[in-house]
Structure formats: C-alpha cells, structure tokens
Amino acid sequence: MKHLNIHLSGIVIIVGNYGSGKTEIAVNLAIHKRQSGLHVRIGDLDLVNPYFRTREAKAALNALGIDVVLPPAKYFHADLPILTPAIAGMIQAPAQLSILDVGGDDVGATVLASLADKLKGKPIRVLQVVNPFRPFTHTLEGCLKIRKEIEIASKLEINGIVGNANLIDDTVADDITSGYDFVSAYAAESRLPLEFITAPESLMPELDLSRFSCPVLPILRQLVPPWKKAVTLGSGHLKS
C-alpha cells in the first residue's frame, strides 16, 4: 500500500524528547519492514524510561522474526550504559535494517556518544520523533532546541523527522492532520526531510491519505504501562 512505502534501510537511530513515542515507532517500523521482507534487528538503547522499552516486546518481536539486541537478562531492569558492546556488534554487522531505539532527550542520547567511533563513516539515519502535543515540542523553537541538545549529547547530526501527533487514547483524525501540518512546517524550517508520520491503526479509515506528502505508518500500541493490555504485535494494517 502506498501509504506504507517507507524507504529506510541500513542503520536507523530513533531519537526525540521524553514521551515523544520513539519506542512505539521503533517497534512498529521494525514490524512493517520485516513484513516487507527485510531482515530486521532492533537494539534497545533506552536507559531512561522504566516502562516503555523495546525489551518489553522482545518475545513478540522474536516471534515475528525480528532480532532484538539486549543486555544479558540479569541486567534487563538496570539503568546503566551496559548495552554498548552488544550494540557495537550490531553496528559492525548490520542487518538490512538495524534500528536503534534511544532514550529520551539529551540525557538518553548521551549513550550514543560512546558509539561515535563505531558509527563513524557509516551511512546512518538519525530521525527525530516529534509529537506537537507534548511539552517542549509544541512550538518550532522547542523542536529546534530539543534537536540541538540531542545532537550535542549524541555527537551525531539529526537528518530526518518523524511526525507522531497523538493524544494517546484521546487522539482523533483531526489531530493527525493538524500534527502533519506542524511537522511539515518544522521540516521546512529545519531543512530536513519528513520521512513519515504515524496514525493509530484504528483511525486509518478516517484519514484522507492523499493530503499527506509522506508515508503514514499505522501504529498498534504494544508498549503500554503495566496496567493496560497491549495490542497483539503484527496484527491489523501492518500486515498490508
């Protein structure tokens, strides 16, 4: 389907401010590209958020044929920079698509600086996830400030944008449309490509996809707090 035609391969690093939805995007992008036939690996570099981490979806991702790079099991809930050796190996021998899910803000992105030597000279995409309904990224100035802070902390340059406009369970179709307009303006201001935007899978039938100049990735929420039930990974629109 045209709206799922997301052209990404090689090493893709997902960054953004806290609560922007980076991990949910990393997981759903991995599923989409795996179902498109690519060999996909996803590395968990989120050392900030105790609930929304790629590692929480490991079993479901493995079942879909997606390799998940994690620290040893005894360190699963540690908040230490212990992922570097495993991630370094993933960078040295990347899959057709290797996704690095990074923690929020400049604090979460700091761990990337330790991988600078491994990443040097490699063609990588560093994508900033922007949710205009979150604090600090509801203005263009705020988005630019977050970008600069992440770039300084990670020692990497952001070279693409992902729009993730949502109000979690209260999101409606108009939010996706207005969010697209905002991230389009941010892309123009920052002179970076808008790679794709996201939308809850349930809202896809309500959207006029011809209005968007970029692909739309349907999101099936998997990484939810412990008191909520996750959607089954790999179901719904992502099979298209």
End-to-end CA gap in the chain: 7
Domain residue ranges of the chain, discontinuous segments joined by +: 2-235
On whether the CB atoms of residues 146 and 128 are closer than 8 A, the answer is: yes
What pLDDT is recorded for position 238? 45
Distance CA 52, CA 222 (A): 9
Distance CA 17, CA 129 (A): 8
What pLDDT is recorded for position 53? 65
Q: What is the pLDDT of residues 69-116, one digit of tens each?
A: 876 555 555 555 455 577 778 888 889 999 998 877 777 788 888 888
Find out if CATH 3.40.50.300 is the number for domain 2-235.
Answer: yes
Q: 20-24, 177-181, 183-187: lowest mean pLDDT where?
A: 20-24
Q: What is the pLDDT of residues 124-171, one digit of tens each?
A: 999 999 999 999 999 999 999 999 999 999 999 999 999 999 998 899
Q: What is the pLDDT of residues 4-44, one digit of tens each?
A: 789 999 999 999 998 899 989 999 999 999 999 999 999 88
What pLDDT is recorded for position 232? 54
State both tokens at 89.
Answer: 């190996």
Provide, rounded to the nearest whole percent, the portion of the chain with pLDDT above 70. 82
For the chain, the average pLDDT equals 85
**Adjacency order of strands within the sheet including 67-69:** 67-69, 40-45, 97-102, 10-16, 124-130, 160-163, 194-200, 216-219
